[in-house]
Chains A and B, each alone.
Chain A
Amino acid sequence: MTPWLMAGLLFTPLAWAVLTLFPAFRLGRVLTRLGILAQFLVAAGLWMTVAQDGGFYYPLGGWKAPLGIELRVDGLAVTFVVLTAVVACACGWHAGDYLSPETGRHRYFWPLFWFLWAGLNGVWLGADLFNLYVGLELISLCSVGLVALAGNVGALRAAIRYLLAALLGSLAYLLGVALIYGQFGSLSLAGIQALVASAESFPGAGVGLFIMILGLALKTALFPLHGWLPPAHGIAKSPVSALLSALVVKASFYIAARLWLALGEELGSFVLAQAVGVAGALAVILGSWLAFCQSRLKQVVAYSSVAQIGYLFLLFPLTFGVPDSVVQLAQQGIALQVISHALAKAAMFLAAGNLILSVGSNRVEALAGVSRFLPFSLFSFALAGVSLMGLPPSGGFTAKWLLLQASLASGQWWWLAVLLLGGLLSAAYVFRIYRASFVESRGQDQFYHPPRVLEAIPMMLALMSLCLGFVSEPVLAVMSLPFEEGG
């Protein structure tokens, strides 16, 4: 059973990417919808397998590491595989109706979408540093292609800027891998962790870890390296923005977090942990403020991503030099933040796309009157906003509550201010959109009404992120499943 699931998880997206390379948009849409269903079943099956029997290592094609690719299937990885399936399923389905089949280049959405999915699954399951690099590059190249799909000069400029930032980040990561490999002669994360714990000091490896985290921070758009994100996410087609904000930036963060949790205690330092935390805090506050100042709707949502990414980097100070129970709390909080932000931000971008489609302009003031004629999409937008603000019962609330407890328990009370201020500021930018849409300027309905399915998908995502608070207990239970070494 397991070989089939693993093959399905990585082989299906690659096979579908090749399948959808040549057909026209409509045929690609049919094929993709079939593939999405298959992929969803596989992800759910794997999740159930892990929930029953615990995690395991899986050598792909029977080839053992170091020359083969070994996959690490544990609770956290499989949770992200399912999250990817949910979000990609929603975005792919939405894109099928959102993108116009008449524009020729839109048919390339399908292969790029599938390659992206393959890369994401590869990163969640990767067990060694180099395959994580390959996964990251696959993700970056597809994302850049997806941004460029919009086709105009602005989109191309954003895509090139994104590509250059992503390439620089990847090379920095690879340089770090080279230093680490030169020091330890191993690529497997677990192997390096064991080596680090067993021996004395490693001067080169600390530098390697620092360079890797720097590169990954650039790819995750951590403040002040966030310059490429708002243009790229703001100008891409809405389903693409949703995919990029919800999943793609999380992939590089996931690698940074795995590195830090495995090696940070020995190779990192208090200063590095606090510096990353401060950058995250600045991202939360300045990102929210910049989101409040934007005049275009999707730029508001894009800057909100910069802010929400900032919370994730609080993981670094909250897991350095603290008791294991605090590390556990912080990890759970961050993982929930990743999930709830992914669901909420995907919902928000898709809903914003509907709003832009119906008012015919991407400016915030143009939303006047939309509340009366398009309440459903606006309501999805607001529900997603509730999760971003961190109000109960949303997943965002549970995540921030866990982070709050972790910062109190570790004695680093200064992060409390960030959590509280960030919530308030995000309320400010969400309510600004709401205020603009309740202005009554036009008497009659002049809006284009998008098809029902386009409105239903963001609503489902927003409800999921809202209800995450209720089901966080079982989700966290699977995430922290004991991991059988070498199983």
Chain B
Amino acid sequence: MSVSLLYAFAGVALCAMGGLGFTVLEHLLRKLLAFNLMGSGVFLVLVGLAQHRGVPDPVPQAMVLTGIVVTIAATALAVVLMRRYYHLSGQTGLVVCEERKEPME
């Protein structure tokens, strides 16, 4: 097994851990961190799998750079929404205790 393949497997493991956290954890910030962990796992797979032919390949690196930018944007948006949500409702999770009457639209 080559080193790059090791990277790919580590990426898969990270992805699985992140995925598990994402579905199981309740707290929104933890969910977000799990998402970021998953993202790192995917990037590792992307670079690791593509490098294992032995020649350096610029395409996956460009993809990962773009992917990181996208992930940062998504994380920023999520943090803003969660902060606002916390200010308005005082809750850190999405589960609603009792069904409140939603205002119109």
Contact = CB atoms under 8 A, between A and B. Distances in A.
Given A163-B78, A174-B67, A168 B104 contact: no
A160 B85 contact: yes
Interface of A: 66-67, 130, 133-134, 137, 140-141, 144-145, 148, 150, 152-154, 156-157, 159-161, 163-164, 167-168, 171, 174-175, 177-179, 181-182, 185, 187, 235-238, 298, 356, 360-362
Nearest to B82: A160
B98 interface: no
A179 B45 contact: yes
A141 B104 contact: no
B77 interface: yes
30 contacts: A66-B59, A67-B58, A134-B70, A137-B70, A137-B73, A148-B84, A152-B103, A153-B85, A153-B89, A154-B103, A159-B81, A160-B28, A160-B78, A160-B85, A163-B81, A164-B22, A168-B19, A174-B67, A177-B46, A178-B42, A178-B45, A178-B50, A181-B46, A181-B60, A181-B63, A182-B45, A185-B53, A187-B59, A235-B102, A360-B104
B15 A175 contact: yes
Given A67-B59, A67-B62, A134-B66, A156 B45 contact: no
Given A152-B103, A160-B78, A182 B50 contact: yes
Contacts of A160: 28, 78, 81-82, 85, 94
A150 B105 contact: yes
Contacts of B63: 130, 177, 181
B8 A182 contact: yes
A168 B59 contact: no
Nearest to A156: B85
A164 B35 contact: yes
Contacts of B53: 185
Nearest to B46: A178
A18 to B, nearest CB: 16
A157 B104 contact: no
Contacts of B105: 150, 235-238, 298, 356, 362
Contacts of A156: 81, 84-85, 88-89
A171 B78 contact: no
Given A141-B73, A152-B103, A163-B78, 20 more contacts: A66-B59, A67-B59, A130-B63, A133-B70, A150-B105, A152-B102, A153-B85, A156-B89, A163-B77, A163-B81, A171-B39, A171-B42, A179-B45, A181-B46, A181-B59, A182-B46, A185-B53, A237-B105, A298-B105, A362-B105
Interface in B89-105: 89, 94, 96, 102-105
Interface in B40-89: 42, 45-46, 49-50, 52-53, 57-60, 62-63, 66-67, 70, 73-74, 77-78, 81-82, 84-85, 88-89
B49 A145 contact: no
B104 A185 contact: no
Contacts of A145: 77
A111 B40 CA distance: 30
Nearest to A362: B104
A115 B74 CA distance: 15
A175 B39 CA distance: 9
B96 to A, nearest CB: 8
B55 to A, nearest CB: 10
A133 B46 CA distance: 14
A179 B49 contact: yes
A323 B73 CA distance: 45
A171 B88 contact: no
Give the one of B42, B63, B81, B105 with max A CB within 10 A. B105
Which of A66, A134, A159, A174 has its CB near the most chain B CB atoms (within 10 A)?
A174
Contacts of A361: 104
A216 to B, nearest CB: 15
Nearest to B53: A185
A168 B22 CA distance: 8
A160 B84 CA distance: 11
Contacts of A154: 102-103
Nearest to A359: B104
Contact of A168 (B8, B35, B50, B52): B35
What are the 4 A-B residue pairs with the smallest beta carbon separation, nearest first?
A182-B49, A178-B46, A156-B85, A178-B45
Contacts of A157: 85, 89, 94, 96
B93 to A, nearest CB: 10
A182 B57 CA distance: 11
Contacts of A185: 50, 53, 57
Nearest to A164: B31
Nearest to A66: B59
A156 B87 CA distance: 11
Nearest to A65: B59
A174 B81 contact: no
Interface in B1-28: 8, 15, 19, 22, 28
Nearest to A296: B102
Given A130-B63, A175-B15, A141 B74 contact: yes
A130 B49 contact: no
Contact of B46 (A144, A168, A174, A236): A174
